[in-house]
Chains A and B, each alone.
Chain A
Amino acid sequence: GQNIDQPTEMTATEGAIVQINCTYQTSGFNGLFWYQQHAGEAPTFLSYNVLDGLEEKGRFSSFLSRSKGYSYLLLKELQMKDSASYLCAVMDSNYQLIWGAGTKLIIKP
């Protein structure tokens, strides 16, 4: 079956760095997405990786290793507004997104 695993909840301190991991087993692979979702709101796109390596976008970076079925989202210089859920999703062989349950990130002052 298809499976996306990510931690349920993480806590970090304002100004610090946090890494959110995602492992996956899917039928085919056409890229991995990270989305941010604030409570009560819609998911919004953060990043897309299809090749191995690190993609950097401001304070956020995303890494992919296809051979290990592994990705992480790195958030630097954490701000209170980064408190949200972070969703990992893999595009399978049918070009459909398979979603993880999300990681709730709590930022403490």
Chain B
Amino acid sequence: TAGITQAPTSQILAAGRSMTLRCTQDMRHNAMYWYRQDLGLGLRLIHYSNTAGTTGKGEVPDGYSVSRANTDDFPLTLASAVPSQTSVYFCASSDGGGGDEQFFGPGTRLTVL
């Protein structure tokens, strides 16, 4: 079982360019999440989706958009990248219940120059 996968593993992107980070899970989880992790800070929620067809804004949504066309996929798009979006991005999923653990993908390391 693959669990949750992300692509690409890493990317260097020129400022002003757009990019989509891909995330796919095969656990049939209802909820999916995008986080960014920066040195010295906790994981910060960018966007989430409680079920296919719905999305919501997290703590730091500006500059990012998401879609949830089906249960398995939850892509994150940067429309016009800026250097402050340099970070490690983690996608996660859970069954969606209150005490359900979140399973994380391996992460995408993005550098915006």
Contacts and interface: CB of A to CB of B under 8 A. Distances in A.
Interface of A: 4, 30-31, 33, 41-45, 48, 50, 87, 89, 91, 95-102
Given A4-B42, A99-B42, 16 more contacts: A30-B99, A31-B98, A41-B106, A42-B104, A42-B107, A43-B104, A45-B101, A48-B99, A48-B101, A50-B99, A91-B98, A95-B98, A96-B58, A99-B44, A101-B40, A101-B41
B48 interface: yes
Contacts of A31: 98-99
Contact of A30 (B40, B98, B101): B98
Given A42-B107, A96-B58, A33 B101 contact: yes
Interface string B66-104: 000000000000000000000000100000001101111
A43 B102 CA distance: 9
Q: Is the interface of B mostly helix, strand, loop or mixed?
A: loop
A50 B106 CA distance: 27
A87 B22 CA distance: 25
B45 to A, nearest CB: 6
Contact of B42 (A30, A48, A101): A101
A7 B90 CA distance: 23
Interface string B37-60: 000111111001000000000100
Interface residues of B, number: 18
Contacts of A97: 43, 45, 102
Contacts of A44: 104
Given A4-B42, A87-B42, A100-B42, A42 B99 contact: no
Contacts of B103: 45
Contacts of B58: 96
Contacts of A102: 42
Contacts of A91: 98-99
